[in-house]
Amino acid sequence: MTAQTDTPGTVTAVYKVTGMSCGHCEGAVSGEISELPGVSSVKAVASTGEVTVVSATELDEAAVRAAVDEAGFELVGRA
């Protein structure tokens, strides 16, 4: 999936993350990704492994991967 522009100045991307199993996992992943520059919202869903990120510009996947790694999970790639 490619990033989608929802409104002027925002980009929405969906990533696939493995290892999340509960609300605490969702919070850990969301917390780390939300610290990336330009991120305005993050919604992680453990049951699907999908993390939806809204940001001002396209995010560097390596930065997203590092944030997910810091939370203790693995970024598979774009959903």
Predicted pLDDT at 73 = 98
Query: Are the beta carbons of 73 and 17 closer than 8 angstroms?
Result: yes
Q: What is the pLDDT of residues 38-58, one digit of tens each?
A: 999 999 999 999 999 999 999
Assign a CATH topology to domain 11-78: Alpha-Beta Plaits (3.30.70)
Q: What is the CA radius of gyration of the chain?
A: 11
Q: What is the pLDDT of residues 1-20, one digit of tens each?
A: 445 555 677 999 999 999 99
What's the CA gap between 28 and 36, in Å, rounded? 14
pTM strictly above 0.85: yes
Overall average pLDDT of the 22-35 stretch: 98
The sheet carrying 50-55 orders its strands as 39-45, 50-55, 11-18, 74-78
The DSSP symbol for 35 reads: T
